[in-house]
Chains A and B, each alone.
Chain A
Amino acid sequence: MPGVFKAAWLMMAQQLSVQLGYRMAFAQVALFEALGLMGTLFWWRAAAASSSNANYSTASIVVYFIVASSHQILQESGLSRSLSMDIRTGKLAASLIRPFPFLVQPIANGIAFSLSRILMIGPVLVAIFVLVPALRDFIYDVATRQSPVIWLAGYFAALVLALSCNLVVRLGLGLLAFDMTQTWGPELLFIAIFFAFSGAVYPVDMLPPVAVEILSWTPLFYMQGLPNLVAIGRIAGDPLGTYLLRGCLVFALSTVLMIAMWRRGLRKFEAIGI
């Protein structure tokens, strides 16, 4: 087993250097994400500024979308597409004979991708929250409302759960290649459902409570909604504990489903691909 971890570590390091090697593509991604975020931020800022509703202040809505956008950047790894290609083209055959589980490789890639993106957007986020007084004060208020350590621990747990759910869902989408010629159709469909219901384009707790309850039994809520709401202090304490437990259950069920798809797919797989 230690050999598996060593191999995974090497792959992760290699993937990290590949990600950081294309600095120009990185700069483009950062610029474009910022441009995309701008319209959303100003729209919701105008909505909160016109509001007499105390639920969402202007600062809270702006912070919500900054963290939502950051979480999205961490999750867009292209993992499902590369796994799908490996299956369709038969590249999987070469990887299967290595002395460690094949899925270690895409998982290491996914983690390396997220780490590289944290390195890219982390300093930008720190600069935003340090240099904009309204946002700095808001975050300070959220952190001190409970205890900075508890808030950070809760946020870290929600973020790890989000990245884990994302990894399993993306792998599951890629594994559809065992049964389909083109997996981009289901992937596009998933992206659209993700945007509609995860909390990526509006604060998910603005939906009716019944809808939030239903969504909390799907990975979507944990991929965006939960970490965003924990970051702005709208979910804390006991409700956070309940959601984290439920999220772990959803993650475990998704993992079981993904492993079942993997094992079923391997039985159909032939060396030249599907």
Chain B
Amino acid sequence: MNTQQPRVRQRSFFRIYSRTLANSAGVMLAYRANLIFFFLFESFFLVSSFLGAGLGVSLAGGTINGWSRDQIFALTAINGVSHQFFVCFFIAPLFNLPEFVWNGRMDYVLQKPMHPLLALIVTSEVMISNLPNVFINLGLAVYFTLKVAPASGAQIWLAFGFLILLGLAVRFALAIFCMAPAFFAERLIEGEDGFWSIVGTGRFPTSVFPRTIQRIFLYVIPLSVMAAVPAGLLFHHVEWQQAALAGVSACGFAVTSLVFFNFALRSYKSVNSGG
């Protein structure tokens, strides 16, 4: 009985999630203006990211702390892929959390036969409007990476891919840390702004920060794993050992965020969590 239950849960998760995907696509396609606005919005943000990066390198005279212009562009695009992927699939479940707490919809989430985080994912919209920008960023990342990456063995590329996935987990974990306080107090409503303020830090090479902050971003709150560490490993700006330690710390950060979510969830009192 116990051994079969997880399979049932997994199957129902995928079944519900595929319905959510279809539903989200239908909603998004019904409001075609949203698709266009989101596409333009994200495209202009891409322009501002590349302008900021490119003008910074121009001011520096071609390289910043050993990173060339194309390497910086590759880093910006790699961060963009991770960011857009996060927005597509995880932004709605996590950023709607405070609203679910205020209006009691969390009650329904808790009744689903799976972990509340998974239930949030299956009951929330998928932002398919951001999919075009996932591919635009992916194209830019592939172009700049192949242009400037030195010849590397398969193990470097594997580590690069693994670190990118860990970076996505860090992004997800950071969002949990920013949004889950809504379980404690309704007025902790600035979590979304906090997330956007903090998450942008991951798009800069770690070496631009003072040494103490570098260590914090590598091993304590591993924001650099989101893009700077994988790109740095590929372009030989980050040592193997450093990348491995940052990867371990990213795993720890992700697990801690889940523990924090479960802990915060205990303060949920249905409809109004007080505070």
Interface positions of A (Cβ within 8 A of B): 22, 24-25, 28-29, 31-33, 35-36, 38-40, 42-48, 50-53, 55-56, 61, 182, 185-186, 188-189, 191-193, 195-197, 201-203, 206-207
Contacts and interface: CB of A to CB of B under 8 A. Distances in A.
Contacts of A51: 59-61
B40 interface: yes
A24 B187 contact: yes
Contact of A206 (B48, B55, B65): B55
B59 A32 contact: no
Given A46-B60, A50-B60, A188 B194 contact: no
A43 B45 contact: no
B119 to A, nearest CB: 26
Contacts of A28: 188, 190, 193-194
B165 interface: no
Contact of A43 (B42, B48, B51, B204): B204
B231 to A, nearest CB: 15
Contacts of A39: 200-201, 203-204
- By secondary structure, the B interface counts as helix
Interface of B: 31, 33-34, 37-38, 40-45, 47-48, 51-52, 55-61, 63-65, 187-190, 193-194, 196-198, 200-201, 203-204, 207-210, 213
B40 A192 contact: yes
Given A22-B187, A43-B208, A48 B34 contact: no
Contacts of B204: 39, 42-43
14 contacts: A25-B187, A29-B190, A33-B197, A46-B65, A47-B60, A50-B61, A56-B59, A185-B34, A188-B41, A189-B40, A196-B44, A196-B47, A197-B48, A203-B55
Nearest to B194: A32
Contact of B52 (A32, A45, A182, A202): A202
Contacts of A182: 31, 33-34
Contacts of A35: 194, 197-198, 201
Contacts of B194: 28, 31-32, 35
Nearest to A201: B52
Contacts of B33: 182, 185
A206 B59 contact: yes
B65 A50 contact: yes
Given A29-B190, A192-B40, 6 more contacts: A35-B201, A42-B213, A53-B59, A61-B59, A191-B41, A197-B48
- Indicate the member of A47, A56, A188 with the most B CB atoms within 10 Å: A47
A201 B194 CA distance: 18
Given A36-B197, A45-B208, A185-B34, A50 B64 contact: yes
